[in-house]
Structure 1
């Protein structure tokens, strides 16, 4: 590790000089008075006194530099059969006009705009238009339950909601407008206006005096010749609020500021993802999640890349070759998806036969994040694609990678199961519950020494008092990631799961992530989850749930027995692993994270609330039926 360590140690020696240099990649209306102001905010603020505009940096400056004809957004929707390319010049025009339309509805700097939309180009237009005005957007996943949306409306108090008539799933149309109307009815805060994009698959009824048709509003604004200029904002002013998924009660609104966010994301595009302006970058996520904010919209556009907005699935739209078709068709250079998407593809196409149908010679790297990438899936993808498969680790709160393999700096050797090494900005420590450092190779709490780098949350929306209890009080002087793991002799990090997923079996602290590695290594297993079920004698007992690959016809109980033996062989009797169940599918959020906590509550026969982010609630009944037929034995 040569260049990586040089850069990392350079940051460690002088963080302000490092980020001051990185900030030169961003256009500022006014430079910072201080690169870092240690005396403000929860742990200090970056680029204090600077003025900027995120929309300007994403669009205007590229057009002024002569790149207006370059594609900014490629929209590909297999569920509607629609494809569209939007150049930087076209995007600038659409954003200028829509921003003027929002301004006409009374939106000004500091106002909130809630965006509740599917994966269409207009979602990017709405986000960038709000940013252009200095307004603060809050994207809520399209189709989110009405009561969850209502909670967010009460917290963000938006002046305007931007929505659509519907979202399209492979087998159904999700009507957004009834959910939006119900949320507004429930909410104490009522927005002044709702702008609704009418899609041809489902036309929504509009409420007179409140609701406006997107196309009609834009046409009227365009006819009047109105276009909005960029409003200068402070670097420390909020760009957006993103509510953490699965919130109950008072939501946790993660705030992202303008200046540090631009600096950090621009640095990552070049140094982590290794893409140059003009390259096609595809993040197969949804704008409702932090990955979509950072790497569908802002990161690629800040860096002058072409980004893809994909309205489809990894399988079923139409088959397990969907991703490879997109990569081939648009000559994607770097691809970013969740491990669960790869596992879905591997389940349907275990040999990767679909890959041979497409030209993937332009694809240089595949990046994984969202949940832990099990080594078996990483190896499968490496063998099938013949390119580096890079796991990296980050959170909604950080907005970009805490640990990664910095391809743009130096491609480091891949260790399956590890997101590689800490990135500049993150001084990682592994501590026990009392705040003491643990020995190399030992499992502990992963924390980041304060201050957090640019791009991370400065606080929670209208809830400064919740920041400490949520993130910094447990380990004073550090940010608590709530992830558990260890560091090896080469400085590589291994993230073994959330601290909640470290189970206590008869006094032994065991990682469910380590057990999942063993389960996923079995030749017949497509994906898996391990939870700690309550046990009167040992406190907790590990229980595994496995989904088999397509075409496996062996007896399920034989496979279960083999897996129990495999865990005993590789982890040992201390794991007390005796129970595994074959299931048809695992419950997940719409972003693909397995809902292990909910599975645990079902196993423990505890009361639970159906998570607002769940993809298909019927799976919970399926899990319950299996455990009812074949109960867990202690």
Structure 2
């Protein structure tokens, strides 16, 4: 992988049920950062950066990244950061986010990235759980039309050392302005007043100006931790998923190469945020390990208009495109024209990630976005798995709309019934994996017992995904949704994903979220939240049509913007307490 390496004995691979050590590779040393950058052409483009505004563009080479990461590694060392320390990063999708995480990797420190859309409370919880000694954030940023003051949220979250990046205030760099002044930028933002804790807060640009361009990397064992990333979790305290240096890098590099059929001339674009595992694996580590050129996007799909994504595809000649079914369904409701007004001729492979994609969205993605000529790779994986587990291979796997198809190389899935018995042939039940893979998480930070109880206790000897799955007569795998999203209505076990998919078959429905609600007779009944496609109105007639199409549905409610995760979290929290929830 790079650095001082020894041959790995196959006997050092563990059985999946032995979670005591999870040592995939022993006596194998590496620095993930040097493997990512020194192995690639330093003058090759690494990122094509697209800001919130279409005119905000930057090109970054591997050499430029190398210099910036070395400088920031020296900055961190001067702040006392060393191997094994935890560093919290709370930043939008800007190049400095990548610089910060790779600088941590260069020093052997663990980065813990917190999605910039999370609240001060969520940030505080994650910082305290992993005992972070430093927080890196920005002054503020725009997300579409919305101004987000990250420094204000960071101040709410903690009273620890904060290293602050000027983002909206970039035009002022090098001046002697007061930190509390409003930043004069292209878009006025008079509401941004940066609070400053003298002696505690530090400016990124000032420290970087004094830093040297070279920094010796810290060599790590392959099983040393690389980062902590917290899962949101529908209920309970978020889990700090720990991934390690050697196995994780190997797995994301390999899955990126084969799942996206990567070639050196490709331009890859994953629309996720680096605050999620998709961004870690397929914006930072996977593409860099393959020497790829990627798009780094700070904006949102609907700003300044709903054709933004396809405009960027044409602008940078994107060949491989990776996004979420939620984004696809969101853009579907605006019709085909915002897509077809752009060429998209460069596209070759289209990917989906984050949740099962319903067949209607899959077909729109294939027919409209891909013009019926691009392979669709519908990938199933988790924060805990590090990389793709079930996925088609473009051009090699016959596609079925909505199916994650087959396991990736070396992945051994099984479907179990409630008794833990493996089901053969056509079957539906619990999705588990029978043997380990390089990218498997090693522990829950600070709580190994929770790791064992969550992933191995229910079915000893198997890694339990927590997802339901169906295998059809051709051996294709279909994810039916989280097991905790299974509802028991009048004695019938129903998957929320299947009901949601049925609802969006109606031409008026853009998105749907289904949750259970206690019912005195049925046990549970279904509340369905929907958003409408443009040109349709919410009416009693529409409600009757949807109920006729889905007789098990009890209530249907319209929402302007669907926040599926928040809706389901609210419903599950209240259902667990047996009190229901108020609408």
Query: Taking structure 2 as the reference length, what is the TM-score of the superposition?
Result: 0.90
Match of 1:196 among 165, 175, 179: 165
Q: Does 1:538 find its partner at 2:516?
A: no
Q: How does 1:370-385 map to 2 (within 5 A)?
A: 370-385=354-369
What residue in structure 1 maps to residue 35 of structure 2? 57
In structure 2, C-alpha distance between the alignment counterparts of 1:533 and 1:54, rounded to whole Å: 47
Aligned ranges for residues 193-272 of structure 1 at < 5 Å? 193-200=162-169, 201=183, 202=192, 204-221=194-211, 225-246=212-233, 250-272=237-259
Structure-1 residue corresponding to 2:311: 325
Q: Indicate the residue corresponding to 1:151 in structure 2.
A: 125
Structure 1 residues 312, 173: CA separation in 2 closer, same or farther (over 3 Å shift)?
same
CA distance in 2: counterparts of 1:523 and 1:603, whole angstroms: 31
| Alpha-carbon distance between aligned partners in 2 of 1:502 and 1:375, rounded to the nearest angstrom | 20
Deviations, residues 416-437 of structure 1 (Å, cap 9, x unaligned): 1211111123211111221123
Q: 1:226 to 1:59 in 2, by over 3 A?
A: closer
Aligned length: 556
Please tell me whether residue 110 in structure 1 is matched to residue 84 in structure 2.
yes
Contact 1:95 1:129 in 2 (8 A): yes
CA drift at 1:541: 1.9
1:46 is paired with a residue of what secondary structure?
A: coil
Bigger Cα displacement from structure 2, 244-253 vs 598-607: 598-607
- Which 5+ residue runs of structure 1 have no aligned equivalent? 1-25, 569-575, 609-619, 628-634
What are the within-5 Å matches in structure 2 for residues 561-600 of structure 1?
A: 561-568=544-551, 576-588=552-564, 593=565, 595-599=567-571
Other structure's SS at 1:394 match: coil
Residues 1:274 and 1:539: Cα distance change in structure 2 (over 3 Å) = same
Q: Quote the residue 2:396 is aligned against.
A: 411
Corresponding residue to 1:479 among 447, 457, 463:
463
Map of 1:334 onto structure 2: 320
- The Cα of 1:304 is off from its aligned counterpart by 0.6
Q: Which sits farther off after the overlay, 82-91 or 385-394? A: 385-394
* Residue number in structure 2 paired with 1:98: 72
Secondary structure of 2:70 counterpart: helix
Q: RMSD in angstroms over aligned alpha carbons?
A: 2.3
Given the alignment of the two structures, is residue 557 of structure 1 paired with residue 540 of structure 2, yes or no? yes
Tell me how far apart the structure 1 counterparts of residues 235 and 422 of structure 2 sit (CA, whole Å). Answer: 33
Contact 2:44-2:61 at 8 Å conserved across structures: yes
- 2:332 aligned to 346, 357, 362, which one? 346
| SS in structure 1 of the partner of residue 427 of structure 2 | coil
Residue 504 (structure 1) aligned with residue 488 (structure 2): yes
Q: Work out the CA distance in 2 between the residues paired with 1:289 and 1:37.
A: 28
Contact 1:601 1:607 in 2 (8 A): no
Is the contact between residue 534 and residue 604 of structure 1 (CA under 8 Å) also seen in structure 2?
A: no
Greater helix share, structure number: 1
How many Å separate the matches in 2 of 1:52 and 1:170?
40
In structure 2, the residue corresponding to 1:300 is in which secondary structure?
A: helix
Aligned CA distance change for structure 1 residues 52 and 494 (closer, same or farther; 3 Å): same
Distance 1:604 1:57, change over 3 A: closer
User: How far did 1:253 drift?
Assistant: 0.4
Using the alignment, how far apart are the partners of 2:104 and 2:218 within structure 1?
A: 10
Provide the TM-score with structure 1 as the length reference: 0.83
Task: Give the superposition deviation at 1:594.
Answer: 6.3
Q: Could you say if the C-alpha distance between residues 548 and 248 of structure 1 is closer, same or farther in structure 2, counting changes exceeding 3 Å?
A: closer
Q: How does 1:431-450 map to 2 (within 5 A)?
A: 431-438=416-423, 440-450=425-435
**Contact 1:404/1:420 (8 A) holds in 2:** yes
1:212 Cα deviation (Å)? 0.9
Q: Secondary structure at the match of 1:372?
A: coil
SS at match of 1:393: coil
Matched residue, 1:612:
none
Counterpart residue number, 1:77? 51
Q: Is the 8 A contact 2:432 2:462 kept in 1?
A: yes
Please report how far the alpha carbon of residue 37 of structure 1 lies from its aligned counterpart in structure 2 after TM superposition: 4.0
Match of 1:163 in 2: 137
Instruction: Give the drift of 1:505.
Output: 1.6
The 8 Å contact of residues 433 and 462 in structure 2, kept in 1 or not, is answered as yes
Partner secondary structure for residue 57 of structure 2? strand
Per the TM alignment, residue 488 of structure 1 is displaced from its structure 2 partner at its CA by 0.9
Aligned counterparts of 1:461 and 1:601: Cα–Cα separation in 2: 24
Offset from partner CA, 1:3-24 (integer Å, 9 cap, x none): xxxxxxxxxxxxxxxxxxxxxx
CA contact (8 A) 2:425 2:475 kept: no
Q: Which residue of 2 aligns with 1:616?
A: none
Q: After superposition, what is the alpha-carbon deviation per residue over 1:570-628, rounded to whole angstroms, capped at 9, x for unaligned?
A: xxxxxx3344333333224xxxx5632424667999769xxxxxxxxxxx9xxx6xx5x
Separation in 2, partners of 1:377, 1:43 = 42
CA deviation after TM superposition for structure 1 residue 77, in Å: 1.1
Residue 177 of structure 2: aligned partner:
none
Query: What CA distance in whole angstroms lies between the structure 2 residues aligned with 1:296 and 1:564?
Result: 42
- CA 1:167–1:602: 2 relative to 1, 3 Å: farther
Q: Tell me by how many angstroms 1:515 deviates.
A: 1.7
Indicate if the aligned counterparts of 1:138 and 1:240 stay in contact, CA closer than 8 A: yes
Q: Secondary structure at the match of 2:442?
A: coil
Structure 1 CA distance for aligned equivalents of residues 353 and 571 of structure 2: 22
Q: Is the 8 A contact 2:391 2:407 kept in 1?
A: yes
Distance change (3 Å), C-alpha of 1:497 and 1:594: farther
Q: CA deviation at 1:43?
A: 6.1
Contact 1:239 1:258 in 2 (8 A): yes
Q: Distance in 2 between matches of 1:274 and 1:394?
A: 18
Distance in 2 separating the partners of 1:538 and 1:345: 36
Instruction: Give the CA deviation at 1:76.
Output: 0.4
8 A contact 2:235–2:569 mirrored in 1: no
> Aligned-pair distance for 1:172?
2.4
The answer for the alignment partner of 1:29 in structure 2 is 4
Please, which moves more after superposition, 437-446 or 466-475? 437-446
Q: CA deviation at 1:335?
A: 0.7
CA 605–430 in structure 1, closer or farther in 2 if over 3 Å, else same: closer
